[in-house]
Amino acid sequence: MIERATCNPRVARLQPLSELPFMHDWIADDTALATLCASLADHDAIAVDTEFMRVRTYWPELALVQIATPHHTALIDPKPVSSLEPLRALLVDGRSRKLMHSSSEDLVALGRIGARPISVLFDTQVAAAFAGLGPGIGYQRLVQTLLDVTLEKGETRSDWLKRPLTEQQLHYAEQDVVHVAALHDALVARLEARGMLAWCLEDCDRLARTSNEEPTADPHHELRNAWRWPRERQALLKRVLEWRERTARTIDRPRLWIFDNVKAAELVSAPSLDTDALRAAMVGQRSFPKRAYDELAALLATPIGAAELDALVAIPEPLRGDDERRADALRDAVAARAQAIDLPPALLMSRRAIEAHVRGVALSELAGWRGAVLAEVLAGA
């Protein structure tokens, strides 16, 4: 049953809100979810947000999904619902544009229910950068700037898995989506006037396709200072970090709780630890699984094979000399081009992309609109 009220039985009241009263549908069973998603299927645009917890786990634990149209707001409690398939189908349906703000972590959380990739994404934070409002602008500031509405702070650190939710939590959750459609309309008008709507949509589509929490192919590159290490030690570091990633996913604990990067470097520097020495070395690591000491000790003791060495992409050494000067010159040229079209330089070409270009590495992010805008700059770099 869909519950629609300013108060509902799943709300724990702390104190009356000083702001406007909220009104939403509370969705907490399969029938209500199916009804809601069917009613939204033909909408041109749907605002979406999530609340999740990811403090003690590797995977984000979805706690609430907020959905809004200009005339309808619903809060979905995923815990009592046996199947979120109607929600997944709605999110991947290409008939409606999905409006989100700073969506990367929400996309990962929704990816856990199979909503990957979100179809026809419009991220208002991405759009704001293209609209000349600055990179990384927060939701509250964007609402204030474009809509002249002041939102209260307060529930970002809430325990969203606890039930019942408080009035403050529900109000906060609702406010996170009720203004997104108006932001979308205001931003689209600005983007069309600047001729950048297609660029924004291209970046939003890339964001939807790449925010999938897949393991990086070269986790050893996180330790940039290890570029001097011999290839065998770098290969062992990669092996150990890949094992940590698999273990973190399996036991659902943050990867740095298994062991941190400093510890990884120590292990690789002294790989001949037996099980007892390894157990002593792991004191202080928050979630290293006790049953895994023998496995990790064997992993460290196994010699690096030819196949591992052949597959290794070594940690790149810092740019020096002519390459460093080329990177500085390219960074200046990108900044000048960005200023000419009123975009943040990092949006036009990131530091990572600049270094990769100097090293001769092709990046997909330099295809599409960026490749066209930067054609002359890159040709002269």
This prediction has a pTM of: 0.90
pLDDT of residue 221: 97
pLDDT of residue 21: 55
pLDDT of residue 6: 44
- Domains of the chain and any CATH numbers: 3-210 (3.30.420.10), 219-311 (1.10.150.80), 321-379 (no CATH)
Task: Give the chain's length.
Answer: 381
Q: Which of 126, 136, 251, 111 is nearest to 191 (CA)?
A: 126
Which residues on adjacent β-strands are paired with residue 166?
12
pLDDT of residue 273: 83
pLDDT digits (tens, 9 = 90+) for 152-183: 876 667 899 999 999 999 999 999 999 999 99
Could you give the CA distance from residue 39 to residue 4 in angstroms, rounded to a whole number? 15
pLDDT of residue 155: 62
pLDDT of residue 2: 55
Could you give the CA distance from residue 363 to residue 372 in angstroms, rounded to a whole number? 14
User: Which residues, other chains included, contact 253 with Cβ-Cβ below 8 Å and sequence gap of 6+?
Assistant: 56, 57, 58, 286, 287
Q: Classify 354 in phi/psi space as left (phi over 0), alpha (psi -120 to 50) or beta.
A: alpha
For residue 347, with 0-12 CB atoms within 10 Å meaning exposed, 13-18 middle and 19 or more buried, which class applies? middle
**Rounded mean pLDDT of 114-136?**
96
Q: 1 or 133, which is more confident?
A: 133
pLDDT of residue 19: 47
